[in-house]
Amino acid sequence: MNLTNKFRKLTRTNTDPLVKFPELLNLNAAARERGWEYHEILPASIQTCYGARAISEDFLQWVDRGPELVKVHRDAHRGESFGRFWASHLHSVRRYPADPVFHCTVPDATLLLDDGGVLTDRGELAREAYFLFQGIRESQWQKGVNKTLKGRFISLLTSYGDRNIGHFFFDAMFRVALFDQLSDFQFLVPPKLHPWHRGLIEAVGIEPHQMVHQEEPGTRVEELVVCHTAQQGYMPRRELIAKFREKVLGRLPQTPPTRPFRRLFTDRSAMKQRRMINQKELEPILKDRGFEMVRWETLTVQEQATLAMETEIMAGPHGSHMINGVICSPGTKVLEIMNPPWWDGSNLRQSTLAGHEFWYTFGENASKDYDTYMDPRKLERVLDYMLDAPVTDPGPG
């Protein structure tokens, strides 16, 4: 257990209280008052996310099993509202306000822990500089931050971003989409980097010498360029998805696709959880419809981006590979096979905002590791509907 997680355990005992900082709620107003550099990239707007597509059999599952599916949702321990939230996202059109996108240069700022909470030189938490900060304990803060790093920094720190690719990607990496050139900046990164951290960072053109690892309890920098990309990390601006895609594709070799219009199915058989338990039974069905089996984890991020760029249909169980959908061309069809206790609307959200056609279907949970059994005849029906092919089996009406 690292020190950060160890200290967070103390939350339950109240023996090590959180430090209370005043909050700075509006960076634009502070910039005008204090002479900070402030640039609005996108004005406030309204975004629309459309619901998913599914065959009648999955709709009838919601009719028959809806309350159960909400209650067994993987966030059910946080309250039934979470399951209801994601169920509504799957099945409805949602319009919601999108914050202005901006960056603001804050002098003598301190980044706290690996959450990346931003403290100004006046000891204020800059609320628009992070999505979630779980707080710092008095025992941690007493260690102090003794030095200031020279230069202009962008933070790639975010809550859970040290261990969760989804949070790191949507909460932190989209910040680089605000800039045409990244060579003038240094980047604060989590203390320990996984291969997927390094792959994403490399994919946008950040060089190893530009990375500085976050320290505990915090890192003070001469200038922090705060990047505000959205009100919530799970609702990124569609314009930034497009800009991020352009930045990644702009670094790929400019060669014609080796095999355009590819149909890919994710092979998770080497993973420890969320595998397709009867994948071998499904492979002939997929092969008959032109699908290739892909193990994304064996590819570099550049190879994944190249493959995603050539894809017309991406299918498979829930997993981080779905993030590659951001690189796919708008109009790509995406199919997520959901496990009843492990589903949400995150891949619907990113697919919709990237301009894709999102489908889902439910399998059945087959283990404590959320491995999924998929009825082969049901998979045939879903794929044939997606492909506008003659329906193999019309299924229940």
- Residue 254 pLDDT > 80, yes or no? no
The residue among 237, 267, 294 that closes a domain is: 237
Domain identity same for 153 and 36? yes
- Tokens 């402030």 appear where? 38
DSSP 84-143: HHHHHHHHS-EEEEEPPEEEEEEEEEEEETTTTEEE-TTS-EEGGG-S-----BHHHHTT
Question: Quick one: average pLDDT of 97-108?
Answer: 96
**Are 44 and 50 within 8 A, CB to CB?**
no
* pLDDT one-digit tens code per residue, 16-72: 999 999 999 999 999 999 999 999 999 999 999 999 999 999 999 999 998 888 888
Pairwise pLDDT comparison (174 vs 2), residue with the higher score: 174
Domain identity same for 205 and 265? no
Domain identity same for 181 and 205? yes
pLDDT for residue 73? 80
Residue 32 belongs to some domain of the structure: yes
Domain identity same for 118 and 166? yes
**pTM higher than 0.85 for the full model?**
yes
Residues 160 and 197: their CA atoms lie apart, in Å, by 13
CATH number at residue 358: 3.40.50
Residue 250 belongs to some domain of the structure: no
Residue 377 belongs to some domain of the structure: yes
* pLDDT one-digit tens code per residue, 223-242: 999 999 998 877 889 999 99
Residue 251 belongs to some domain of the structure: no
Question: Quick one: average pLDDT of 291-301?
Answer: 93
pLDDT for residue 258? 66
The residue among 183, 202, 237 that closes a domain is: 237
Domain identity same for 159 and 221? yes
Domain identity same for 21 and 103? yes
Residue 393 belongs to some domain of the structure: no
Domain identity same for 223 and 286? no
pLDDT for residue 8? 46
Distance from CA of residue 9 to its chain's centroid? 26
Domain identity same for 103 and 34? yes
pLDDT for residue 227? 97
Most confident of 116-120, 234-238, 257-261: 116-120
- Residue 304 pLDDT > 50, yes or no? yes
pLDDT for residue 345? 82
Determine phi and psi for 264, rounding to 5 degrees.
-120, 135
Give percent above pLDDT 70 in the chain: 94
- Residue 126 pLDDT > 50, yes or no? yes
Band of the pLDDT at 392, cuts 50, 70, 90?
low
Domain identity same for 189 and 290? no
Contacts of range 14-21, beta carbons closer than 8 Å, 24 or more positions apart: 16/137, 16/138, 16/139, 17/137, 17/138, 18/135, 18/136, 18/137, 18/138, 19/135, 19/136, 19/137, 19/138, 19/141, 21/119, 21/123, 21/124, 21/125
Domain identity same for 172 and 212? yes
Domain identity same for 231 and 351? no
Q: How many structural domains is the chain composed of?
A: 2
Residue-range definition of the domain harbouring residue 68: 52-92+256-386
Domain identity same for 299 and 377? yes
Q: What is the average pLDDT value for the chain, to the nearest integer?
A: 90
Determine phi and psi for 154, rounding to 5 degrees.
-120, 135
Residue 396 belongs to some domain of the structure: no
Band of the pLDDT at 320, cuts 50, 70, 90?
confident
Residues 265 and 268: their CA atoms lie apart, in Å, by 10
The residue among 193, 208, 237 that closes a domain is: 237
Residue 346 belongs to some domain of the structure: yes
